[in-house]
Chains A and B, each alone.
Chain A
Amino acid sequence: MAVKVIIPTPLRPYAGKQESVELKAGTVGEALSALTAKFGDLKKHLFADDGRLRSFVNVYVNDEDIRYLQKDQTPLKEGDTVSIVPSIAGGRRR
């Protein structure tokens, strides 16, 4: 299925500065794998060492959080939008 993956601002530098990427995938897991295969630097920002999605990163299919769907097994339809939404806190430099 051709889907659009939306890259959040903090992660765009690791995705060739793109704000969204078109990919083919049947599930969310496949879409994220295809994404990190294409942009290796994204992997450590999205996934912990054990391969699980980092807990400060949420993934949505259209407007639904995948944690309440089938997580990375969530199936994708043609034209779906996968959004990566990390927590942001603005302002303070660290």
Chain B
Amino acid sequence: MASKTEISTATPAANTRPTPTLSKEEVLRYSRHLIMPEVGMEGQLKLKAAKVLCIGTGGLGAPLGQYLAAAGVGRIGLVDFDKVDLTNLQRQILFSTSDVGRPKIEAAADRLRGLNPDIQIDTFETMLTSANALDILKDYDIVVDGTDNFPTRYLVNDACVLLGKPNVYGSIFRFEGQATIFGYPGGPCYRCLYPEPPPPGLVPSCAEGGVLGVLPGIVGAIQAAETLKLIIGNGEPLIGRLLLFDALAMKFRELKLRKNPECPVCGEHPTVTKLIDYAEFCGVRGEESPAAESTVPEITPRELKARLDRGDDLYILDVREPHEYQICNLGGHLIPLGDLPKRVSELDSSREIVAHCRTGKRSAEATDFLRKAGFRKVLNLKGGILAWSDEVDPTVPKY
């Protein structure tokens, strides 16, 4: 094998830190960067010296990790505690079907090392918490937030502001995405835009959830682009700019983000000077379950099956959405939860009603609503149609 020839633009320097150089193979690998004046050798060496932490290796992390590795970012940290699940593969294209059950961090690291064996991949198979965040983030220059819940968003934001590191933010919902850069010194942070999270349960997620698989692919790639631009120091970064993307309309819009001088974290007189309990901040202390779920009368799937087999006259009320009914159903009468107040007259209060949804959360609200409306005989199917599939009839597909 021919020995590698080191190529460097560094002048013999007075500084003591070794300047990264590119091997002959690297020059070939990154040639399409090197021949562009916007990147060039100078930009590529900056990429090689850069250290980027990717929080989350899911929908957003998949394109993000791949494009950062492909671009030659010298050190990439990956944080994820989760295992690959079949339902991930609709959008988390870093993984293969054979990875189902594996820790995401292992599968991700393998894939990225295969793409680019010259870079350093650090893995943190842990949930990011107030106890470990500052420690994990401290060695990196840039943090990219690819997480999927509000407590972590606020944790990452605050940690980045406290450490003075830019936070390349991307988020998605169904077919819409947002992207911006928070925490850049002098720029706004997440709390400048959203001082407080929505209380759990107010923005319903069961019925309104789901995501177009390709959407995080687009938003994650935008996050990768912004990260590369920050490293290279070229182009107009999304600092102070909120990019909104609608995949269905295929439209981009942009809103101005301002730094809030009264921001509790990055403002002139910050009140948050260390990491807090983010679960408590977001109101998700303990296991999230709306109050209704624990206080309404319930029936388990096995009990329901037994009563139906006995010939009991039960009225099955399905409070899911029409498109869910098409996936699987128990033959119930469909009134989506949101329509229930308007359509309550379709129900006969003299009959015994069993309300169900996918997991039992929405139907708990429906049961609570009906009981408060004067229906005496309403039961919530505990665990929903998912539990029915698990405990009574495995031919019912889960989703």
Taking Cβ atoms with an 8 Å cutoff, the residues of A that contact B are: 8-10, 13-14, 19, 41, 44-45, 54-56, 58, 60, 63-65, 67-68, 83, 85-94
Contact = CB atoms under 8 A, between A and B. Distances in A.
Given A9-B174, A9-B176, A54-B198, A91 B58 contact: yes
B304 to A, nearest CB: 24
Interface string B273-314: 000000000001000100000000000000000000000000
- Name the 4 nearest CB pairs between A and B, nearest first: A91-B148, A88-B173, A90-B172, A87-B194
Contacts of A92: 148-149, 205
A86 B258 contact: no
B244 A85 contact: yes
Contacts of A63: 253-256
A65 B255 contact: yes
Interface in B187-204: 193-198, 200-203
14 contacts: A9-B173, A10-B173, A14-B338, A45-B203, A64-B255, A65-B255, A65-B256, A85-B255, A86-B198, A87-B171, A88-B172, A89-B171, A90-B59, A90-B171
B173 A65 contact: no
B355 interface: no
Given A54-B198, A90-B172, A92-B148, A68 B258 contact: yes
Given A9-B176, A10-B203, A90 B216 contact: yes
B190 to A, nearest CB: 8
Given A68-B258, A92-B148, A94-B284, 5 more contacts: A45-B202, A64-B255, A87-B197, A91-B211, A94-B288
A44 B148 CA distance: 24
B209 interface: yes
A93 B203 contact: no
B75 to A, nearest CB: 26
Given A10-B203, A13-B338, A88-B173, A93 B198 contact: no
B257 interface: yes
Contacts of B211: 90-91
Given A87-B198, A90-B211, A9 B175 contact: yes
A86 B203 contact: yes
A7 to B, nearest CB: 11
B184 interface: no
B268 interface: no
B105 interface: no
Given A10-B173, A90-B172, A64 B256 contact: yes
Given A55-B195, A56-B194, A58-B193, A91 B172 contact: yes
A52 to B, nearest CB: 12
B208 interface: yes
B14 interface: no
A46 to B, nearest CB: 11
A84 to B, nearest CB: 11
A19 B149 contact: no
A53 B253 CA distance: 23
A19 B249 contact: yes
Which one of B198, B216, B244 has the highest number of Cβ atoms from chain A below 10 Å of its Cβ? B198
Contacts of A93: 205-206, 209
B242 interface: yes
Contact of A58 (B194, B200, B205): B194
B314 to A, nearest CB: 28
B196 A56 contact: yes
A46 B226 CA distance: 31
B249 A56 contact: no
B153 interface: yes
Contacts of A60: 255
B349 to A, nearest CB: 24
B21 interface: no
